[in-house]
A and B are shown apart, each in its own frame.
Chain A
Amino acid sequence: MLTWYNYLVTSSILLLLAGRLAAQTWACETGQVTFRSEAPLELISASSNELKGVIDAQTRTFAFSVMIRSFQGFNSPLQQEHFNENYLESNQYPKATFSGKIIEDIDFTQPGTYTLRTKGILTIHGVAQERIIRAVVTVSGGVMRVNAPFTVALIDHQIAIPKIVRQKIAEVISVTVQADMRARR
């Protein structure tokens, strides 16, 4: 129920934003999401290259999403399976999304490097959290490079970790989003 609803919402935002075809719409060309869990006993790092997203500079709105199953680079196949099946339940909640508004009013037509803050809803594991996420955006040669590091507390998204693996999985996960976006005309 929640799965297709989430999917619908995200896709419709994506479609809506993409459909505007305004000069100020930027879409993800390549996008990577990396997360790191630095626990006392184990360092887990995985990334996905299947980040999708759009930014509407006119309305200062944006939407990004990534498939949970697309994360690769775990320490073992079993770990990946646990990640998908037990922790993030990617069958039920296949996507992580972040959509909202950019707080600063920045003219993206001007090349330069901007530090901006985004205010939006971060949905992971089907749990939506309002977040302010900082991003460094570099615009040059018609390409917008977005770099946004942030943290995700597992408890915020009701991701339950069995006691026995607590020493192996951090309570707060560091996430980095890197995307190259191109203006659509």
Chain B
Amino acid sequence: MHIALLWICPLWLWAQPYHVHTVPGAPPQAQVLLQDRQGMIWIGTGAGLLTHDGVSFRAIPSPSHVGGITALHEAPDGTCWAGYNDGHLATVTMDTLRMFEPEEGTPAVAITGMLTDRRGVFWVATYGEGIYYLDGGRFYNLNTDDGLADNVVYSLRQGPGQAVWACTDQGVSICEVSRAQKHVTTISMARGLPDNIVRDVWFSGDSVAWLGLYDYGVCQYRIADSQLITSPDVWTWGPVRRIQSVAGEVWVMTDHDELVILAPDDLRVRRHFRLAGSAARLRDMMQDDEGNLWLAGQAGLFRLYPYVYWLEDPAGITRQNIRAVQPDSAGGGWIAAGGSLYQLSPLGAGWSITRRLTGVSGAESEIISLYEDPTGDVWAGTYGVGLYRFAAAGGPPRRYTTSDGLMADNTLAMGGHGDERWMATSAGVTYGRLQGDGSYRFTNAATSSLPGITYVYDILADRQGRVWFGTDGKGLAYRDQGDLRQVAATQAAELKVIYGLAEDTQGHIWATTAHGVLKLAGDSLAVLGPAQGLTTPDMQGIARDVAGNILLLHANGLDIVSSREGNVTRLGAYVGLSDLTPDLNTLQPDGQGRVWIGTERGLLIYTPLPDTYRRRPRLLLDRILINLQEQAAAGQRVFRWHENYLTFQFKALWYQEPAAVQYQYQLVGYDLDWVNTLDRAVTYAQLKPGTYTLRLRASLPEQWARAEIVTYAFEIRPPFWQTPWFVLGIILVFGTALYFFISTREKRLRRAAQLEQENIRFELETLRNQVNPHFLFNAFNTLVSLIEDNPRHAVNYVNRLSDFFRNMLEYRGRDLITLRRELDLLDDYRYLLQERYGDALRLEIDLKPETLDLGIPPLTLQMLIENAVKHNVITHALPLVITLTAGDNTYLEVRNPIRKKRTPTTSTRLGLANIRQRYHLLSQLPVVIHEDDGVFAVSVPLLPLSDV
């Protein structure tokens, strides 16, 4: 009796098919979730707003007067919107929250949803005031007066086209607006909806809307023909709160913390589970761009990976240690566990499980291999009791043993194509051939077609008609059109034992060994291991999924080598895959894109992650700190010379396993190569002025070659004294100063030279005057008369005359002499004049003693007095009085009354001009000549002696 048991179970109700990870450190009262375009997760809670990067939470404070956050939305411009339970609205840019206060005011009731529609109109749904929308700068309201089904809106979603769908207690309203033009149609019980209360809606393309209902679960609305399809299952999981398409199925979250997963075509319930821990009080559900599903509730934040789940059944059959799996072409599959073989057949939304084989003939035997051949027959290889073949048509199996030609009664692996079958046994490979009558003829393949190969772990028939053998000790071998070839590269000692085989979409053969995964592309062999990002070199199973990715099963999870990019992602403890301890080669793809994986803990179903999801960490340059404190402005690329102590904070988003992310950075212009770090920040101190480019990348282990590089180019400006303009300015200033210095010096030298010349001319003039015939004639006349009258006096006169000429010779070359000395000089001259004119000429000197030390050009006074004597009439009857005064000690005035001679004396006119010229060279002060009221006065400046 081979059919021992039959269960029919459309729904499996208990245990938890998904591993739900409670996010540590998450805030309580999580109400609403959002992932922005950068990838950051936003969490609106009863106490405020937070962002999450997989590692930590950052709070964005709200003003104290507002309530909890009930809605989040990211506008197309990157602004995040927060809606509060008291109707307030806020925007967040650069981690700064600002309350939004439109002229129209904000609602007074909770915000339940926000979106920006395809025209750019911003919508706000409220719990009691209908919908507001911001169009052309004005808020408009859409409520029951405008045709909205109800003013309490549970959720708002962008529908196909321009329409926005609003879920209410009176059905779902489909709204299209343009300014004050509103068009609303409602789907309600009047149009066949089983329940008026619609809590949420989700769209599958443009044609189908799934409606989440309060009492009746889920129904499907076909938009084209308005047809409603309801779920055939009785709904017992509570009011729907969120509905969403995840991993090709419809996920529903209810008020009772139930998660129900339905088939998208017929809305049959496939699985459901309740979040462990009774009071999660789930509020929102969101799928991120890595494929993770996030759940927010009163108890915190939860995350699960919806692409892997444990198949559950009420009897626990699928949760035993699975020894072998084989999905079949009928849509079901076979599993071997606990000494029995079970067939799983699709039935409704669930499976029927039939026990097809149990401890055969009382012997302790295990089924250790399963294989579905091209005809649909399923073969089960046992350990010790032969080989069973279950015909696709059904009925009891046919058993083959050594007596039928098998090499041994245990079968490790099977494979084949067409009519050919190969069975690997402990005693060699058996070759089986399908005969015309449907029977099989078995021979020893080792002697005929596989000489020398006795022990084989896996057999793979590839698409080119070759059959590959993973041998124990002889490496990789294949049979191609009757010839056996061995892959020479696999003859190395550590690669000689091949455990599993798979073929990828390009026809490359992959094989597992204890020392790495082999990839054979033509003649070239690559060995992959931890250095290429794999968790371990020692894989227990290998298979290709429907997307072409190579799956590698190991004791603590599943490594996925992407077919498109070749990068490795790893599913492990973070998604609940640990302690799997699978048997050899217990993973097999089915015909529907899923992969069955048998483990010690039960049967896992894996669905490949679509390519639209992110398979590698995304690196974000978070912020830049200048001199350890202030944050650089958004987009700042230029720093001043003293802002050269820069800290770059970055983070990589990889929510599945944030701890696995590694970072590298390189400052081009500073670092010669990439620098590894586990920190999420790097600091550069004392950067010299110049241009730099910071390059950052984040990767899962050893995936650097495929990591995206984030670059940040910046410049540190030189200090002002190093700028070209400043240097140029300095050169200019110095140049000008030098020029002025040289030119003044030159001027001074020129003036000195001029003065000298002038002095010589003056001296010449004076000499010429003194030795002019008149002077001498007069002097000699005087002398003659003296000699006659008073010879002694005459001697004196001649002495004074000679003194006069000697002094003149002595002082003529000086620029300045003291007034005292000048007066001494004048004394001789005066004596000579006095002798000649007697009382007719009077010289009155009225000078204060302090003026006597001031300077005067030599012979100036003599020249002036000579002028006076020369031009005026001097008689006893009318004496000429010449006065010398220095009223204010700065000028010396030589004054005489004008008594012009009738016959004007011929004059060289050089005397006064010469004095002027000399003064001009010596001083700024002018020589003043004053002539009026019959008085002629010349004032010459008295100069301090240090002037020259």
Contacts and interface: CB of A to CB of B under 8 A. Distances in A.
Interface of A: 101, 103-104, 115, 117, 119, 129-134, 150-151, 153
B210 interface: no
A153 B655 CA distance: 49
Contacts, number: 33
B727 interface: no
A132 B108 contact: no
The 6 closest A-B pairs by CB, nearest first: A130-B180, A132-B104, A134-B105, A119-B141, A117-B105, A132-B139
A130 B140 contact: yes
Contact of A132 (B105, B137, B145): B105
Contacts of B103: 134, 150-151
B138 interface: yes
A28 B832 CA distance: 124
A119, A129, A150, A151 — most chain B CB neighbours (10 Å)? A119
Q: State the main secondary structure of chain A at its contact with B.
A: strand
A51 to B, nearest CB: 20
Nearest to A100: B145
Interface residues of B, number: 14
Contacts of A119: 141, 143, 145
Interface string B128-157: 010010000111110101000000000000
Contacts of A104: 108
B140 A134 contact: no
Contacts of A117: 104-105, 108
Interface string B97-138: 000000111001000000000000000000001001000011
Contacts of A103: 108, 129, 141, 143
A124 to B, nearest CB: 14
A107 to B, nearest CB: 14
B666 to A, nearest CB: 53
Given A117-B108, A119-B145, 14 more contacts: A101-B145, A103-B129, A103-B141, A103-B143, A104-B108, A117-B104, A119-B143, A129-B180, A130-B180, A131-B138, A132-B138, A132-B140, A133-B104, A151-B103
Contacts of A132: 104-105, 132, 138-141
14 contacts: A101-B145, A103-B129, A117-B104, A117-B105, A119-B141, A119-B143, A129-B180, A130-B140, A131-B104, A132-B104, A132-B138, A134-B103, A134-B105, A151-B103
Interface in B403-462: none
A77 B354 CA distance: 99
A134 B104 CA distance: 6
Contacts of A101: 145
Nearest to A103: B129
A129 B145 CA distance: 16
A117 B105 CA distance: 7
Nearest to A106: B108
Nearest to A151: B103
Contacts of B108: 103-104, 117
Task: Specify which of B104, B129, B143, B180 lies most central, judged by the most chain A CB atoms within 10 Å of its CB.
Answer: B104
A119 B139 CA distance: 10
Interface string B65-96: 00000000000000000000000000000000
A153 B137 CA distance: 10
Contacts of B104: 117, 131-134
Contacts of B180: 129-130
A134 B141 CA distance: 13
Nearest to A149: B103
A130 to B, nearest CB: 4
A103 B145 CA distance: 11
Given A103-B129, A130-B140, A131-B138, A115 B145 contact: no
B116 to A, nearest CB: 19
Nearest to B138: A131
A132 to B, nearest CB: 4
A129 B138 CA distance: 11
Nearest to B126: A103
Nearest to B141: A119
Contacts of A134: 103-105
A151 B567 CA distance: 59
Contacts of A131: 104, 138
A119 B108 CA distance: 14
Interface in B806-860: none
Nearest to B139: A132
Contacts of A129: 180
Nearest to B137: A153
Contacts of B137: 153
Nearest to B181: A130
Nearest to A156: B138
A158 to B, nearest CB: 14
A174 to B, nearest CB: 10
A134 B145 CA distance: 19
A131 B135 CA distance: 12
Contacts of B138: 131-132
A115 B129 CA distance: 15
Nearest to B104: A132
A119 B143 CA distance: 10
Q: Looking at A103, A117, A130, A133, which has the most chain B CB atoms within 10 Å of its CB?
A: A103
B266 to A, nearest CB: 43
A59 to B, nearest CB: 12
A101 B141 CA distance: 11
A104 B129 CA distance: 8
A39 to B, nearest CB: 19
A106 to B, nearest CB: 10
Interface in B147-198: 180
Contacts of A153: 137
Contacts of B132: 132
Contacts of B143: 103, 119
A36 to B, nearest CB: 15
A115 B105 CA distance: 9
B757 to A, nearest CB: 73
